[in-house]
């Protein structure tokens, strides 16, 4: 619901997050701030 509140495409957000996890070898991304809705930018 948070991504919806911030008008972020939930499917695109989840896909980007899971890809970042895969790139980190199955762990949470080191730059977790990039996935927090109120800290995200248009990119």
Domain locations along the chain = 2-39
More confident residue, 2 or 41: 2
Q: Is the pLDDT of residue 41 over 80?
A: no
Its pTM surpasses 0.85: no
pLDDT at 22: 97
Sequence-distant (6+) residues with CB within 8 A of 6 are: 37, 38, 40
8 A C-beta contact, residue 40 and residue 12: no
CA–CA dist 31, 39 (Å, integer): 11
């Amino acid at each position: 619901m948070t991504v919806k509140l911030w008008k972020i495409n939930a499917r695109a957000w989840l896909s980007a997050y899971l890809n970042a996890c895969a790139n980190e070898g199955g762990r949470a991304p080191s730059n977790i701030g990039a996935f927090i809705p109120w800290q995200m930018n248009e990119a």
